[in-house]
Each structure stands twice: as C-alpha cells, then as structure tokens.
C-alpha cells in the first residue's frame, strides 16, 4: 500500500510469467498502447471552463482523463480542481448573504429561497433541458406512427403489385427518428449533469453554512434534548446535505413528468381517439393515490431522522470515548444501545423502502393496464386495429413507465430533502453566541487594567471557567457592559490540539516568525520535548494530541496564546497539568515573562501563584465575593483566609519533579510513540510526520465478496469489529474518518476526500471556544472550504464520467434504432408491418432501458464502494482477544493480589519495548504509589493490566489467574479505573454511573455522597442536593459539568463498580486543591481494604501508601515503603527533596507507613 492506494504488484525480474489469453487480448486494445501516463505533480484546473460548445455538450473534455484512468488507477493529482465559480467559498458566501437578507426580512423559508436564488439560472436551465428532452422522447414514438404507416403502405402496394412509396421518404423518417433520439439523449444528459452539479454545489454551500454556524451557535442552543450537540450537527453535514444534493439532481422530473404525461395523453387521443380516455381513467385514479401514499412517508422520514441523529451521535461518542469504554468493559452495553437504535432505524427504513417498492410496482403496472383497457375499448367501439396506431400507441404507453416510475421516487426524495432543509434551517436560525443568556454568572463587576495579572480563585463549580468563557466571548451579559482589548487569546482547561504538527499548533494560522517562535518555545519549556520528537516541531501530534501527554498539551496551549501576541490572555488553570518545576518556569518565563506587557487573567488554585499576582478575584456560586490584593483579602475576609489556609496545607503536595533535570509531564500516550532518539522511526521523516495512517483506497472493481457481505449484513453488524479493534487503530485513525464510514459513504476518491472534510469538521467542532476566542473563524472556515473543494473535485468529475459514458451508450443505442429503421425501410416490401411495429416500438424502449440499466449499475457500483470501505473495518481490522474465554469463579478476584512475572510489552510491532522484564508482587488490599519520569513505563503497567496492549513476554496474574487466559470483558469488568481525563457520555447521571442498570438507587446515591457530589439526602432521584440528581441530564462529553465535577463523577463511577482492584491514573493532575482533597478522602474511605494502584502526580498523596514503585526505563528502579525509600536515598528521595517533603511529613500524614 502506497499513499493509501492499493496497487497491483508484479513479479520480480527474471523469467516472465506466461500471459493469459485475456491479457494478450488486452494488448490489442489501442487505448492500452503507448507508455503509461505519468502521475502529475499538482492538480490542474478543470478543462470544462475552457471547453468549446461541442466538447461541452458531448463531454469530450473529460476524454483525456478517461484514457488515463483506463491506462492506470487514477490518483488524487489526476483529478482536476473545482472551477473558481463553483468553489465552496463562492457558493457559501452567496448563500450566507442571501440567507441573512431573507432572515432579516422575516421570510418564512429563507434557506429554500436562498438556494433557489443562488442556483436559479443553472438550476432552471437544467429544467428546460429536461422539458426539451421529454418533448423529443415523447414525439419519437409518435413519429414511429408515420414510419410504420410507410411500411404498411409499401407492404400493401407490394401485395397488390402497385408501386410503393419512395424509399427516400422512409429514410427521411428513419433519420428524423434517430435525430430525435440523439438530441433527446444530449438534452437529458445535460439535464442530469446540471442537476448533479447543482446538487453538489448546494451540498458544498450547505456544509459551509453549517460549519460557519457551528462557530457562532450559543451554548444554550447546543444543550438540551432538543439542542444541537456535535453528533447531530455532523448528521446535518453528512446526511441532510446529501439528501438535498440528491433531490436537486432529480427535482425537475416532478413537474416535467406531469407535462410529459399530459403530452403523451394528447398524442394518444390523436392516435386512438377517445379510447385513450379509458386508459386515462386508470392513470387518473392511480397517480393521486400514489401521491397520497408518498405524502404519508414524510412523517415517517421525520421520525427516522430523529433516530438517525441519535445513532450518529452515539457512534461518535463511543469512538471518542473508546478507551474508557474498553477500560470498563462496556463494549457490550454500548453496542447493545447502538444496535437498539439501529434496529429501530432499520425498521423505519424497511417500512419506507417497502412502501416505495409498492409504489414503484404500481407505477410500472399502470401503463400496462391503461394500454390494455384503451385497446379493448378501441376494439369494442368498432375501430380497426391498424399497426401504425396500435404500435405507436403502445410505444407511447411504454414511454409512460419511466415518468410514472420516477415520479413517486422523486416526490419521496423531494420530501426527504424538504425535511432536511427544514432541519438545517432550524439549526441556522438557532440562537447565536451574542444572544445567549448566561446561566451561572450573576452581578459580575470587574475592571482589569493593561499589564495587570489577575488570579481567579474559588471552589469547584464557583464560576471560574464561566467567567473566562464570558470574557472569551462564549457567554453574554444580560446587563451592564463588557469592554476589552481588540485581540484575545484563550487557554481552556482542556487543551484543544489539532491534528497537525507542533509548529502549526503553536503559530495557529499566523505568520511564522523564527525569533519570536524560539522565544515562545523557550518560555514554555518545550525545547527538550522537541529534541526528543522524531521530527522536532514538524512532528505530527495526532488527533486530539494523542501522542503527547496532558502537560505537553497545556504547554502547547500556553505557547499558542503567547505566539498569538494578543492584548488579553485568558488562562483556565493551565498550570495544574504540569509539575512544580515546570509550573514555576511557565509562571516566571511565560506568564510573567513574555506576557508581562499583556492583560492576564488566570484561574488557578496554586498558592505560589496567588500571592504573586496583582489582584485576586474570589468567586463563589457564580458571584464575585471579593476583589483585592492577596494581603488585603487575607486581612479582611475570614472565609478567603480559611480557604487559603486549606490551599496552603495542600500546596505542599507539589507535583513530582524528574529524577534528572528534564521537564516532567504526566505520562499518557507518549509511550505509544517513543521519543528515544535511537528509535527506528528517527530519521524517517515521512513515517514520523505521518502519524495518522493514510486512508486506504481500492483501485479495482468492487469484488463479489463485498456484495455477499452486504447481503449478510444487518445494519450495525459491521460496527462491532470497529469497537473491539485494538487501541493502536484508534490512535492512528481520525475519528471523523470512522464516523464517515459508519454514517454515509460513496465513491472511492470522493470518499477518501470526504473523510478529510469529516475530520476537519469534527476537530473544529470540539475547539469552537478556542477558535472564537482567537478570532480565527475565517481561517477555519477557509480550511473546511478547501477540504470541501477537494471533495467536490472528485464528486464533480464523477458526474462528468457518468455522463460521458451514458451519452456514448445512448449513441450506440440510437444507432441500433437507426439501423432497425433503415432495415424496415429497405425491406418494406418483404417485412410484415406488424413485425416492423413490434421491432420499432420495443427498440425505442431498449434505448431508454439500456441507459437506465447502465445508470443503475454505476450507482450500485458507487454505493457498494461504501460497503467495501466499511467491510475493510469489519473484516480487515485486527481485533482484540475474545471478550469471554474460559470459566472464572463468580467471586474472582477475592483478594486483589497482583503478580507480574518478567513482563515485556511494546505498543505496536516495530516499536521499542516500554516494559522490559518487569516483575512485581502486590498483596491484596495493598496501596501502591507508582512514580517515575515521562516514558518510564507508569501508564504501561495500567495498559498491560487492562490488556489494552497484549504482552510481548511474561505474564500477569490476579489471585493466581493468568489474565491472558480469560476474556477481556471478564477481566475488565472486575477492575475499576479513575482516569486522568474523565469521560462522561450523553444521557443521565444514572446511565453514566450504571449503564447496565445493575445497581439500586441507594448505591448510586451513596457513591455520589462519598464522592462529595451531593450532601446527605434521601435516596431518591428527584431530591438531590444542588444540581446533581440521578435523572439529571448529562450533555455530550459532560460539558454541562465543571472539570472538577466530572472528575468526581468518575470517582463515583469507580465506587459504584465495587471492584477489588482500582487503578488511579493521575486522576488529580488537572483539578484544583479542593477537588484533589475530596478525591483523596473518598478514595481513603471508599477503597479501604481494596488493592489500589495510583499513578501519582502530586507526590505527597502517596507518601502514606503502603509501598512506592519508582519506574525508570521500563523497569522498577526502586520499590519499598515510602519512609524506607526516603531514608535510603535515591530517585524517590530526590523527588521528595524537590517537593520539599521532609522526614516528619511521613509521620504527619500517617505514621503507619513507616512500618510498612
């Protein structure tokens, strides 16, 4: 596979294999002669714009590309770029201007009329092409009447021995018939091409509108059951815009078919007089009935859309939280939830398709019954059944089949598109950020001066993040005024990282200035990290920053804010994710260094920061309680002094520094991409930069195995293999690409390029707060429009290819018509007119049916490409081990004893070992603190224990059971984890704590109380304390809760689980002191007597543990009781010294640790 393209390989040098007869035959094809065309170095502009009239109407301008595609598989560089007047930027700007004007005017359907205004000329020109085509194709059977009459006259004259009509008359009629068919083909192909191009442009413009709106929509409009979470917005972009695309291609058939039917009936009246009215009666009764049934489908489509929204949203949530799903062994639960939604969706689809099939069957049968009744009536009324009238009428009745068959389908498509337009219009009319009503800030009065450094402090949920969001432009005042400098930089609590290089994440669309960039790198202590990366600052970070640690993400976050050189810098507790040494460096060199001339507002809970700022803002319950210098508040405010006393006590718990002097970050994913300078990836710039796997693309016809899989598939059948794929797949595959395949997928090149649109769209949706704060909406809109143009370049060329083929097949079919007509003329004295009538009436149908068949075959091939790509995930992805394997004791594990024997582990084949012969024994109920520098192997122990990564050698036993011999679900369901990044799923508090519904409400309330989320209240789901109740709504990613509340919720979830073994993966690294204290208290009480492995960030939290394991270079460097390791000296002692932990502190936090 090269650049994501599956290529044929040939044998090596030496004796050439014997060629098959088929390959020898292909060498006779002149299109195969000559050298294979080289792959161009860059895309060219579409030749359509410069093509002449004849080239345009015959699609000859696409011929050279067809020849290239016949010689070798097409590459992306072969696809010409979109013409400037069809670019997404131009279309979106026109649509936006028209929509804004109509919305301000109060139009009822602003989006519909905006689409009509923007595409009016080309759209209705396509309608005229269709009218012309229908006129010619209807009159062709009528002209057949005169050709058959010519045959009757000649045959009759021959039988009587009289001179027949001149052959020139018959040849003229044959030529006329053939020309009508040819011009009809030209017009209908132009109609189809214009319709498809308009549909593609409409989709591009709608995606642009939806994306632009997503950067402006308010938080309140996003929230709630009827709101617009990311999954629902993605569904608008993918499914709804595609329905408008499809309807635009065929819309004109809805009214031109009516004209065609009326015109056909008029010609039938001329042909067989009033007998045609008998057939008309059947059509008069049948068509309205069909239309009535079609209208019923609209309500069903709306209901199905709601289900589809939920399915796509759930799919996206599962993929974004797949690591957590695997940790808790919840694959079955979420797959069952997904399959339940999919089965409902499939049921609705089956109903719709069943009704459509019935409509099509009736529509195809109506002309047959109508012609039968008309001919019977014609015969009974004493008329003579002459061949000319009968066969031309039969041809006219047959011509009604396609419009009658297409009409219900087009009406159904139009109804679907209308529903989608209404959905998109509702989204585009949703409340924007400037209109939002704040939900948590009250009576805020604050003035911050130039060059001033302000610290915002307060408890969990006090409104610190909300205040920064308001200043960043994510919330709006209801009274008063907000005045700020022209440019703002924003560091959110969750660092938003793009799937791009380190440099691109820092410069964030601004011009690269080398000296300023170097200063930023130094201020953010990133140089040593860059030195360890394979390609330095050109290394691709990966989606959501999967290859770097949380601390590195935050330093990139701060670096971006500094490089942006804004007037105001808002920072939402960025120092909590780094250790004390790095935090001091960032505060001195960045916040008080490069940013010293800026207005800085910093949410924090760190005492060494609070007492160095110019002023402190103390917030509680969404209000500012006090503002002043640190000393003023300590002297005048008792509550503030008490809170600072608690922080002072906890602030001794400095985060662990490195044993050496390199920058220390918490370890998360970096072990998956080792930063060892001697690793195999060093020096291979291409591989190192391209972390995300290039998307595979097949180059041959869809194999029969795909059709077989499609027949066997049952909706969500292929989603399951994706969920049980190993984590390495999710780490190297953008989520947008996976969502694209599991939602809607067509055509190979367009499919690959569409995945880019999905990835960029989804990435930007998760970072709207940052994009808005930095004022870079235009940059990201331009980026998504560039991706849309890339998608459309393949999309539009596909249409041209189809029309090129269709027109040439029509010419072949029309030559068959002409040849048959000439044979009838030249054999006029010998061929029975009845035989001639049968041949000519049906030969006209063959042309239409041939065109229809080829079009449907092309559509099936394109549609099956979707199945082919999904099948790749279903059949070709590696899978984790079985979920259930062997039998284990129901009570296992009884003690929680863990034994590791010579464990070796690497994250993927070809990567270095991250655990190197590690051996450890943990007694049941023992509390173990795990510390060590970045890359030492701390998180690798967790990955091995949960079998996220299978061991390369050695074994891990829990209570004497080798975990490799049991199923993954059986293992993971017995363990619990409190992750560093808490993951909440859309639903309720109850569904997040207990998705299987196995626990009583009393247990759930107990866990919430232990986690300090609620006070002691009666155990019912309606009387919670504060905002936390069991049936309380949890929005997508839990964004309606603060970070501290989400972390406490993760703790409550672990408490509910009741496992004998709990892993705490630096769960307090990004929370404030108060939340950290609550977590530590809850863990001490809730997990008493249970085995606890804690990957520590704050060193003081583990000095009261039973033992400490110091990791270094994938093995255990030191292990023993905290006090013993302190007294011995070494790595742990040096960590304690840097954290200012003295020997007496061990006794103050728990003297029992001394005795081990």
pLDDT tens by residue, 602-628: 888 777 788 888 888 888 777 888 888
Rounded to 5°, the CA angle 466-472-474 comes to 60
Question: What distance in Å separates the CA atoms of residue 45 and residue 77, rounded to the nearest whole number?
Answer: 11
> Residue 806 in contact with residue 854, Cβ under 8 Å?
yes
Interval 153-170: pLDDT, tens = 888 887 777 787 888 888
pLDDT tops 80 at residue 1061: yes
Instruction: Work out the percent of the chain whose per-residue pLDDT is above 70.
Output: 78
* CA dihedral (638, 640, 646, 652) positive or negative: negative
pLDDT of residue 668: 36
pLDDT of residue 1071: 62
Do 541 and 453 have their domain in common?
Answer: yes
pLDDT of residue 716: 45
Do 331 and 451 have their domain in common?
Answer: no
DSSP string, 245-278: HHHHHHTTHHHHHHHHHHHHHHHHHHHHGGGHHH
Interval 234-273: pLDDT, tens = 888 888 998 999 899 889 988 888 888 888 888 888 888 8
Do 467 and 615 have their domain in common?
Answer: yes
pLDDT of residue 746: 32
Other beta carbons within 10 Å of 860:
12
* Residue 233 covered by a domain: yes
Question: Alpha carbon of 751 to those of 5, 194, 567: distances in Å?
Answer: 13, 22, 43
Interval 562-596: pLDDT, tens = 998 888 889 888 887 676 677 788 888 999 999 88
| Local confidence band at 1151 (pLDDT 50, 70, 90 cut-offs) | very low
Q: How many CA atoms lie within 13 A of 25 on its CB side?
A: 3
pLDDT of residue 32: 59
Q: Look-up: residue for tokens 């039973």?
A: 1106
Other beta carbons within 10 Å of 164:
18
- Out of 555-564, 963-972, 1058-1067, pick the least confident: 1058-1067
pLDDT tops 90 at residue 897: yes
Q: What is the DSSP letter of 624?
A: E
pLDDT tops 80 at residue 219: no
Question: What distance in Å separates the CA atoms of residue 1054 and residue 512, rounded to the nearest whole number?
Answer: 46
Do 462 and 412 have their domain in common?
Answer: no
Do 147 and 249 have their domain in common?
Answer: yes
pLDDT tops 70 at residue 453: yes
Do 276 and 407 have their domain in common?
Answer: yes
Question: What distance in Å separates the CA atoms of residue 1077 and residue 1012, rounded to the nearest whole number?
Answer: 10
Interval 102-151: pLDDT, tens = 999 988 899 999 999 999 999 999 999 999 998 888 888 778 888 888 88
pTM: 0.67
Phi then psi dihedrals of residue 980, to 5 deg: -70, -45
Interval 525-534: pLDDT, tens = 888 878 877 6
Do 352 and 262 have their domain in common?
Answer: yes
Q: Say which residue, 338 or 437, is predicted with more confidence.
A: 338
What 3 state SS string does 912-981 have? CCCEEEEEEEECCCCEEEEEECCCCCHHHHHHHHCCCCCCCEEEEEECCEEHHHCCHHHHHCCEEEECCC
* Residue 167 covered by a domain: yes
* Residue 1084 covered by a domain: no
Q: Once rounded to an integer, what is the mean pLDDT over residues 942-955?
A: 90
DSSP string, 391-449: HHHHHHHHHTHHHHHHHHHHHHHHHHHHHHHHHHHHHHTSPBGGGPPPSS--S------
Q: Say which residue, 92 or 385, is predicted with more confidence.
A: 92
Q: Look-up: residue for tokens 């799903």?
A: 325
Q: Which of 44-53, 168-177, 363-372, 1028-1037 has the highest mean pLDDT?
A: 168-177
DSSP string, 730-763: HHSS-HHHHHHHHH---SHHHHHHHHHHHHHHHH
Domain count along the chain: 4
pLDDT of residue 904: 93
The CATH number covering residue 140 comes to 1.20.1560.10
Ramachandran sector of residue 1114 (left: φ over 0; alpha: ψ -120 to 50; beta: rest): left
Interval 20-37: pLDDT, tens = 544 555 555 555 566 777
Q: Say which residue, 197 or 645, is predicted with more confidence.
A: 197
Q: Once rounded to an integer, what is the mean pLDDT over residues 395-407?
A: 78
Ramachandran sector of residue 747 (left: φ over 0; alpha: ψ -120 to 50; beta: rest): left
Q: Once rounded to an integer, what is the mean pLDDT over residues 350-359?
A: 80
What is the maximal distance between C-alpha atoms in the chain?
132
Interval 1072-1120: pLDDT, tens = 666 677 778 888 888 888 999 998 767 878 888 999 999 888 899 999 9
pLDDT tops 50 at residue 183: yes
pLDDT of residue 131: 92
Looking at 670, 687, 704, the residue that finishes a domain is 687
Other beta carbons within 10 Å of 70:
12
Residue-range definition of the domain harbouring residue 63? 21-72
Instruction: Work out the percent of the chain whose per-residue pLDDT is above 90.
Output: 14
pLDDT of residue 1076: 73
pLDDT tops 80 at residue 206: yes
Looking at 1016, 1037, 1058, the residue that finishes a domain is 1058
pLDDT tops 60 at residue 454: yes
Question: What distance in Å separates the CA atoms of residue 659 and residue 64, rounded to the nearest whole number?
Answer: 65
Q: Once rounded to an integer, what is the mean pLDDT over residues 898-918?
A: 87
Q: Strand pairing of 599-603 and 898-905?
A: unpaired
The mean pLDDT of the chain is 77
Angle, helices 276-320 vs 735-743, to 10°: value is 150
Q: What is the DSSP letter of 18?
A: P
* Residue 760 covered by a domain: no
Do 251 and 343 have their domain in common?
Answer: yes
Q: Say which residue, 681 or 350, is predicted with more confidence.
A: 350
pLDDT tops 70 at residue 225: no
* Residue 1069 covered by a domain: no
Do 288 and 418 have their domain in common?
Answer: yes
Surface-to-core class of residue 279, CB atoms within 10 Å of its CB (0-12 exposed, 13-18 middle, 19+ buried): buried
Do 211 and 294 have their domain in common?
Answer: yes
Which residues, listed in sequence order, are joined to residue 703 by a DSSP beta bridge? none
pLDDT tops 50 at residue 45: yes
Give the pair of three-digit tokens for residue 1146: 């061990």
Q: Once rounded to an integer, what is the mean pLDDT over residues 680-686?
A: 34
Do 266 and 385 have their domain in common?
Answer: yes
* Residue 540 covered by a domain: yes
For the chain, how many residues are written?
A: 1156
Angle, helices 167-214 vs 748-766, to 10°: value is 20
* Distance linking the first and last C-alpha atoms of the chain: 56
* Residue 948 covered by a domain: no
The CATH number covering residue 1027 comes to 3.40.50.300
Other beta carbons within 10 Å of 909:
7
pLDDT of residue 38: 81
Q: Once rounded to an integer, what is the mean pLDDT over residues 480-504?
A: 73
Looking at 687, 720, 753, the residue that finishes a domain is 687
Do 556 and 502 have their domain in common?
Answer: yes
pLDDT tops 90 at residue 472: no
| Local confidence band at 650 (pLDDT 50, 70, 90 cut-offs) | low
Q: Look-up: residue for tokens 């909706």?
A: 715
DSSP string, 1055-1066: HHHT-SEEEEES
* Residue 765 covered by a domain: no
Question: Alpha carbon of 358 to those of 293, 365, 397, 409: distances in Å?
Answer: 10, 11, 20, 11
pLDDT tops 60 at residue 748: no
| Local confidence band at 205 (pLDDT 50, 70, 90 cut-offs) | very high
Q: Strand pairing of 453-458 and 615-620?
A: parallel
Q: Once rounded to an integer, what is the mean pLDDT over residues 386-393?
A: 79
Q: Dihedral angle at the C-alpha atoms of 766, 770, 774, 778, nearest 10 degrees? A: 10
């Amino acid at each position: 596979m090269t650049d994501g393209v599956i290529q044929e390989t040939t044998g090596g040098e030496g004796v050439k294999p014997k060629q098959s007869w088929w390959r020898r035959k292909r060498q006779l094809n002149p299109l195969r002669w000559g050298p294979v065309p080289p792959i161009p170095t860059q895309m060219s502009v579409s030749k359509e714009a410069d093509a002449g009239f004849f080239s345009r109407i015959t699609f000859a301008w696409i011929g050279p590309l067809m020849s290239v595609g016949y010689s070798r598989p097409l590459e992306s560089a072969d696809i010409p770029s979109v013409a400037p007047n069809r670019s997404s930027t131009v279309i979106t700007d026109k649509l936006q201007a028209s929509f804004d004007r109509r919305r301000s005017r109060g139009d009822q359907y602003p989006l519909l009329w905006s689409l009509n205004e923007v595409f009016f000329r080309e759209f209705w020109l396509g309608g005229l092409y269709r009218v012309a085509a229908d006129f010619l194709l209807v009159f062709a059977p009528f002209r057949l009447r005169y050709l058959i009459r010519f045959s009757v006259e000649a045959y009759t004259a021959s039988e009587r021995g009289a001179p027949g009509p001149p052959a020139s008359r018959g040849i003229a009629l044959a030529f006329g018939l053939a020309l009508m068919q040819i011009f009809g083909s030209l017009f209908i192909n132009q109609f189809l091409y214009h319709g498809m191009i308009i549909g593609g442009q409409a989709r591009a413009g709608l995606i642009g509108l939806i994306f632009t709106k997503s950067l402006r929509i308010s938080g309140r409009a996003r929230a709630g059951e009827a709101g617009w979470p990311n999954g629902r917005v993605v569904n608008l972009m993918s499914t709804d815009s595609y329905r408008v695309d499809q309807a635009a291609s065929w819309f004109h058939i809805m009214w031109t078919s009516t004209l065609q039917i009326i015109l056909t009936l008029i010609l039938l009246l001329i042909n067989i007089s009033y007998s045609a009215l008998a057939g008309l009666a059947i059509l008069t009764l049948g068509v309205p009935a069909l239309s009535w049934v079609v209208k019923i489908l609209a309500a069903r489509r709306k209901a199905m859309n709601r289900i589809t929204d939920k399915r796509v949203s759930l799919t996206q949530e599962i993929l974004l939280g797949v690591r957590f799903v695997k940790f808790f062994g919840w694959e079955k639960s979420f797959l069952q939830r997904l399959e339940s939604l999919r089965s409902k969706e499939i049921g609705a689809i089956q109903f719709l398709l069943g009704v459509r099939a019935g409509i099509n069957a009736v529509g195809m049968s109506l002309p047959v019954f109508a012609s039968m009744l008309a001919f019977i009536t014609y015969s009974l009324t004493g008329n003579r059944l002459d061949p000319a009238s009968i066969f031309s009428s039969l041809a006219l009745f047959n011509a009604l089949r396609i419009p009658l068959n297409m009409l219900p389908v087009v009406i159904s498509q139009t109804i679907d598109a209308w529903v989608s337009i209404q959905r998109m219009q509702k989204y585009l009319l949703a409340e924007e950020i400037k209109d939002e009503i704040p939900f948590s800030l009250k009576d805020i009065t604050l003035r911050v001066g130039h060059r001033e450094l302000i610290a915002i402090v307060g408890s969990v949920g006090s409104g610190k993040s909300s205040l920064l969001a308001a200043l960043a432009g994510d919330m709006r005042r209801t009274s008063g005024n907000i005045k700020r400098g022209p440019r703002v930089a924003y560091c959110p609590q969750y660092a938003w990282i793009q799937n791009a290089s380190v440099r691109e994440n820092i410069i964030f669309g601004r011009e690269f200035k080398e000296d300023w960039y170097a200063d930023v790198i130094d201020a953010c202590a990133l140089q040593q990290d860059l030195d360890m990366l394979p390609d330095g600052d050109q290394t691709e970070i990966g989606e959501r920053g999967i290859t770097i640690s949380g601390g590195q993400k935050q330093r990139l976050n701060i670096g971006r804010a500094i490089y942006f050189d804004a007037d105001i810098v808002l920072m939402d507790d960025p120092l909590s994710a780094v250790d004390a040494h790095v935090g001091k460096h960032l505060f001195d060199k960045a916040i008080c260094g490069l940013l010293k001339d800026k207005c800085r507002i910093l949410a924090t809970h760190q005492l060494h920061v609070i007492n160095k700022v110019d002023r402190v803002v103390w917030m509680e319950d969404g209000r500012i309680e006090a503002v002043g210098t640190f000393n003023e508040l300590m002297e005048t405010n008792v509550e503030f002094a008490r809170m600072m006393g608690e922080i002072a006590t906890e602030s001794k718990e400095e985060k662990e520094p490195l044993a050496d002097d390199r920058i220390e970050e918490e370890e998360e994913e970096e072990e998956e991409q080792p930063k060892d300078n001697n690793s195999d990836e060093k020096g291979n710039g291409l591989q190192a930069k391209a972390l995300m796997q290039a998307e595979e693309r097949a180059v041959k016809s869809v194999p029969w195995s795909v059709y077989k899989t499609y027949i066997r598939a049952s909706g969500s059948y292929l989603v399951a293999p994706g969920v049980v794929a190993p984590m390495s797949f999710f780490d190297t595959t953008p989520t947008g690409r996976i969502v694209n395949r599991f939602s809607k997928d067509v055509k190979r090149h367009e499919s690959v390029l569409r995945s880019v649109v999905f990835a960029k769209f989804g990435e930007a949706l998760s970072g709207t707060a940052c994009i808005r704060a930095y004022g870079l909406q235009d940059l990201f809109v331009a980026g998504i429009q560039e991706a849309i143009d890339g998608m459309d370049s393949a999309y539009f060329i596909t249409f041209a290819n189809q029309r090129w083929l269709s027109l040439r097949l029509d010419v072949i079919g029309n030559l068959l018509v002409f040849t048959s007509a000439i044979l009838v003329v030249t054999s006029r004295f010998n061929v029975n007119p009845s035989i001639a009538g049968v041949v000519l009436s049906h030969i006209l149908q063959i042309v239409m049916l041939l065109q229809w068949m080829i079009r449907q075959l092309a559509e099936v091939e394109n549609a099956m490409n979707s199945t082919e790509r999904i099948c790749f995930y279903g059949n070709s992805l590696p899978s984790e081990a079985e979920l259930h394997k062997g039998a284990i004791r129901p009570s296992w594990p009884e003690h929680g004893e863990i034994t590791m024997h010579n464990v070796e582990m690497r994250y993927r084949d070809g990567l270095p070992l991250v655990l190197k012969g590690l051996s450890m024994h943990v007694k049941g109920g023992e509390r173990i603190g795990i510390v060590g520098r970045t890359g030492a192997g701390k998180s690798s122990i967790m990955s091995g224990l949960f079998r996220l990564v299978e061991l390369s050698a050695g074994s891990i036993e829990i209570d004497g059971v080798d975990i490799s011999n049991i199923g993954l679900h059986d293992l993971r369901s017995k363990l619990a984890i409190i992750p560093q990044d808490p993951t909440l799923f859309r639903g309720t508090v109850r569904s997040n704590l207990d998705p299987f519904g196995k626990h009583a409400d009393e247990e759930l309330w107990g866990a919430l109380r232990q986690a300090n989320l609620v006070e002691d209240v009666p155990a019912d789901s309606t009387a919670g304390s504060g905002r936390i109740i069991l049936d309380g709504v949890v929005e997508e990613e839990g964004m309606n809760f603060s970070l501290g509340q989400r972390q406490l919720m993760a703790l409550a979830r672990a408490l509910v689980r009741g496992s004998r073994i709990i892993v705490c993966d630096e769960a307090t690294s990004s929370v404030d002191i108060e939340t950290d204290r609550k977590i530590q208290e809850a863990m001490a009480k809730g997990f008493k007597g249970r085995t606890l492995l804690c990957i520590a960030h704050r060193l003081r939290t583990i000095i009261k543990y039973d033992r400490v394991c110091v990791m270094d270079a994938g093995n255990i460097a030191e292990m023993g009781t905290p006090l013993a390791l302190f007294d011995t000296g070494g790595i742990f002692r040096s960590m304690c010294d840097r954290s200012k932990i003295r020997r007496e502190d061990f006794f103050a936090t728990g003297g029992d640790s001394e005795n081990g």
